[in-house]
Structure 1
Amino acid sequence: MRAEWCRNGQTRRNSLLGAAAGLFSLSVPRLTQAATPPAPGATAPAGGVVERNTPPRVDLLFCGDSLAQGMFLSLQPAMRRRETLRIINGTLHATGVTRGDEYDWTAVSRDLVQRHRPHLVVFWIGANDFRPMVLRSMRARYPFGTAAFAELYGQRVAEMVGNAVQGGARAVWLGLPNMRESQFAGAARQLNAIQQAAAEGAGAVFLPTWEATSDAQGRYMPAVALERSVQTMRAEDGVHFTHFGYRRIASLLFDAAGQRFPELAPCLGRVSEA
């Protein structure tokens, strides 16, 4: 799988240096964010806490770029043998939240949820999102690192999560991992902050991957030392993962989802990293 980060040297450096220069205020159009109704089929007892029953099978929809795609492909062989879990591929590489004019993740996520009616939606996206936010209908571009970018990006994240929650699904948003090149790592940190605030505000669980992809000093970690071996976790591009790496992150995902959504835990089970 090819690295999705742009390698146009000077353009890339200018974009990320501009991000580091700080945020400034712009007047931007607001994207519509629908209210989040109770999930279909859920019951609310007197205490107001929504309860859900364990389904006979959990349908898990993956949405996102090549990060989510890589996880889906790494899990697919083993998941085929599970009768209590079906994983659905809603991913597309080389896409992102910023370029809705190229691939509209707000509309796509809504259509996928309506078509598949999943119990759980997992979002993992952002490997291309250091690019400007584009609103082609208004002929507007908002550079990465600006206040306008952060506002619009957060609204789109909230809309994507809202599509899942309004469709009756649980939602988990995976944060971006640490990355080998310091400029990319800095950009990923900024995106993580926006994603976390927006995703949690819209009703998703935000699951960071930064610590799991960093060493004790917080540096990019390409491999992990296990009891009897050292396993390579990251791909050569310093952005994506090996098969082992994807399954390691998936193990964290399944554990976290099972803890936060106990009605899904019996069907999710555990993920082997082998």
Structure 2
Amino acid sequence: MRAGRCRVFTSRRDVLFGAAAGLVSLPGLARAAATEGAAPAEGSERSAPQRVDLLFCGDSLAQGMFLSLQPAMRRRERLRIINGTLHATGVTRGDEYDWTAVSRDLVQRHQPHLVVFWIGANDFRPMVVRALRARHPFGTAAFAELYGQRVAEMVGNAVQGGARAVWLGLPNMRETQFAGAARQLNAIQQAAAEAAGAVFLPTWEATSDAQGRYMPAVALERSTQTMRAEDGVHFTHFGYRRIASLLFDAAGQRFPELAPCLGRVSEA
């Protein structure tokens, strides 16, 4: 799917720097996540809406899921999915595309009941803070703190706007270096997203085999279905719908008022 390709770095040197650094501490993350008005994901009971407006935010991972779901979702009267995605974007380069501001504007414009974030495939590059003329390499403590702050701000925009929020973790990836870096981003994303009031839904296990290795296909009862795209990062139509099925099931369980409208997702 050409329109959904990420601008993923292929330089092993860039990725190895962060992967070798290991998981860094997250100083100041709790402070950043304590956004005014943020509420826990399991907040007070809410009445069930007549229709759920679901907003997708993120890079080409989120874009691919939206495009794979769109044909079937058009036939659902009680669910409307909204495309707030843009490929080749990321959290680190707010100077190129400011996801903090964009997510705030999207929530204000569409007033969604649920916001799903899936982003990070382009975030192995340095964190840029243009106002300070600063660049913080992937794997450093400064990178982790600033990245966590931006994740918390994005989630805070959804929660403060009255929406439920789910943050999808990055999947396992074919290249070992990218997989190691993705695990680091997952740790930062999970800590920040949960502290800001989102449900963090991992995708790692669903994209790994029994030995924890990258899994390009899944064996079904009567066939084997390819789940991942040729680049080892993105998904096939079947793969996106398989992750979407996990998403809808988890969201329905955590937010029961949305469950009647969300329903289930066929992987076909």
TM-score, length of structure 2 as denominator length: 0.93
Does residue 102 (structure 1) correspond to residue 105 (structure 2)? The answer is no
Does residue 21 (structure 1) correspond to residue 24 (structure 2)? The answer is no
Query: What percent identity do the matched residue pairs reach?
Result: 85
Cα pair 1:178 1:185 within 8 Å, conserved:
yes
Match of 1:35?
36
Does residue 93 (structure 1) correspond to residue 87 (structure 2)? The answer is yes
Unaligned runs of 5+ in 1: 40-47
1:49 deviates by: 5.9
Match of 1:163?
157
Cα pair 1:16 1:130 within 8 Å, conserved:
yes
Aligned residue among 54, 59, 64 for 1:70: 64
Cα pair 1:61 1:118 within 8 Å, conserved:
yes
Cα pair 2:62 2:85 within 8 Å, conserved:
yes
Alignment of 1:137-216 (within 5 A): 137-216=131-210
Computing the radius of gyration over CA atoms, which structure comes out larger, 1 or 2?
1
- Rounded Cα–Cα distance in structure 2 between residues aligned with 1:26 and 1:198: 9
Q: Which has the higher contact order (CA 8 A, sep 6+)?
A: 2
Give the 3 Å change call, closer, same or farther, for CA 24–60 of structure 1 in structure 2.
closer
Q: What residue identity is the alignment partner of 1:60?
A: L
Cα pair 1:25 1:148 within 8 Å, conserved:
no
TM-score, length of structure 1 as denominator length: 0.91
- Output the aligned Cα RMSD: 2.1
1:17 deviates by: 2.3
1:27 deviates by: 10
1:32 deviates by: 9.0
Aligned length: 261
Give the 3 Å change call, closer, same or farther, for CA 158–38 of structure 1 in structure 2.
closer
1:238 deviates by: 0.2
Equivalent position SS for 1:177: coil
- Rounded Cα–Cα distance in structure 1 between residues aligned with 2:79 and 2:230: 31
Cα pair 2:26 2:144 within 8 Å, conserved:
no
Aligned residue among 214, 217, 221 for 1:223: 217
Equivalent position SS for 2:146: helix
